[in-house]
């Protein structure tokens, strides 16, 4: 993509910053978030100002998400929000690109991964594009990267306490491949990017060592212990900053 008008819904978040860093600088990019001048919120109607912006743009990149929607409506609200933008893009002849996850899975126990997969299905129904991203190795100052946060955990007696995933199934996204995908983006057809099934999968330890640029020693506790402990606290009315489905979506998914 060069010299294009691009809207990034969810552009003020971590993935939005990632896209900003790899898109060609000749593009005119508008970043839309919950608190920007022209705003967008999952589950809410699209404003007149945003509709006008979509009509004058070449492509809408959908990276918006709300992790705190109630469990019983989480999947439907996200899928319906994507369909709403898909319909607008079809009406206004604007291309659409959905930002999905490498762990998207129709049978997932995680609401996040299942919703991402169902959003991909809707993109296919509208002949629009989607891309699956794995672990993003970002700058140390970039906020929002959970792996970066884990790599910064303090050490005790030479070891870091770490939650252990069930499977070795982490995929590091090759930025050059994503950049090539975006540079060759066809505005007249559907574009799909996902790593091949035989691409290398990394252990959590390998990823954290790559990010921190040093080899660490870890004392592991299974993720499900943390998950059920936090779930018990939630039942007791004690809230935590950590989203339970985030634990399930990252550490409990079986894609090996």
CATH of the domain at 224: 3.40.50.720
Helix (H) or strand (E) holding 79: helix 74-92
Helix (H) or strand (E) holding 15: helix 14-22
- Contact (CB, 8 A) for 110 and 253: yes
CA separation, residue 112 to residues 14, 50, 103, 232, 241 (Å): 16, 25, 9, 21, 17
Residues 164, 234: Cα–Cα separation, whole Å: 22
Local confidence pLDDT in tens for the 256 residues of the chain: 888 999 999 988 888 888 888 888 898 999 998 888 888 999 888 999 999 999 999 999 999 998 888 888 999 999 999 999 999 999 999 999 999 999 898 888 889 999 999 999 999 999 999 999 998 887 666 666 778 888 888 888 888 888 888 877 888 888 888 999 999 999 988 999 988 766 788 888 888 888 888 888 888 888 888 888 888 887 888 777 667 777 888 887 765 5
Residue 12 domain flag: yes
Nearest to 138 by CA among 4, 17, 2: 17
As a dihedral over the C-alpha atoms of residue 152, residue 156, residue 159, residue 161, rounded to 10 degrees, the angle is -60
pLDDT, residue 255, reads: 52
Name every residue whose Cβ is closer than 8 Å to that of residue 93 and which is 6 or more positions away in sequence: none
Residue 39 covered by a domain: yes
What pLDDT was estimated at residue 31?
A: 92
> In the chain, how many domains are there?
1
What pLDDT score was predicted for residue 142? Answer: 67
In angstroms, the CA 193 to CA 199 distance is: 13
Residue 63 lies in a domain: yes
> Which residues have CB under 8 Å from 200's CB, separation 6+?
171, 172
47 falls within a domain: yes
Residue 219 lies inside a defined structural domain of this protein: yes
256 domain-assigned? no
pLDDT at 139: 66
* Confidence (pTM): 0.89
Sign of the torsion angle spanned by Cα atoms 227, 229, 235, 236: negative
**Residue 159 belongs to a domain:** yes
Cβ proximity of 193 and 180 under 8 Å: no
How do strand 192-193 and strand 5-9 relate by DSSP bridges? Answer: unpaired
First to last CA, the chain: 33
Residue-number span of the structural domain to which 110 is assigned: 5-251
Residue 115's CB is within 10 A of a number of other CB atoms, namely 26
Joined together, the tokens standing for residue 4 give: 């294009």
Is 212 within a domain?
yes
């Amino acid at each position: 993509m060069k010299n294009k008008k691009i809207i990034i819904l969810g552009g003020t978040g971590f993935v939005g910053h990632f896209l900003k860093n790899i898109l060609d600088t000749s593009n005119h990019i508008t970043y839309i978030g919950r608190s920007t001048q022209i705003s967008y919120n999952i589950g809410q109607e699209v404003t007149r100002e945003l509709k006008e912006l979509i009509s004058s743009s070449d492509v809408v990149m959908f990276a918006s998400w709300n992790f705190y929607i109630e469990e019983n409506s989480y999947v439907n609200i996200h899928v319906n929000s994507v369909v709403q933008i898909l319909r607008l893009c079809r009406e206004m002849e604007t291309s659409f690109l959905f930002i999905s996850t490498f762990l998207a899975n129709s049978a997932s126990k995680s609401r996040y991964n299942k919703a991402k997969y169902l959003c991909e299905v809707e993109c296919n129904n509208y002949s629009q594009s989607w891309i699956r991203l794995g672990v993003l190795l970002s700058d140390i100052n970039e906020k929002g990267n959970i792996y970066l946060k884990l790599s910064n955990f303090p050490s005790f007696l030479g070891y870091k306490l770490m939650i252990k995933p069930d499977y070795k199934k982490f995929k590091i996204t090759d930025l050059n491949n994503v950049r090539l995908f975006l540079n060759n983006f066809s505005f007249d057809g559907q574009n799909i990017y996902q790593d091949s099934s035989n691409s290398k999968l990394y252990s959590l330890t390998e990823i954290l060592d790559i990010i921190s640029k040093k080899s660490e020693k870890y004392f592991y506790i299974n993720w499900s212990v943390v998950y059920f402990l936090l779930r018990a606290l939630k039942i007791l009315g004690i809230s935590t900053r950590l989203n339970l489905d985030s634990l399930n979506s990252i550490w409990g998914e079986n894609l090996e």
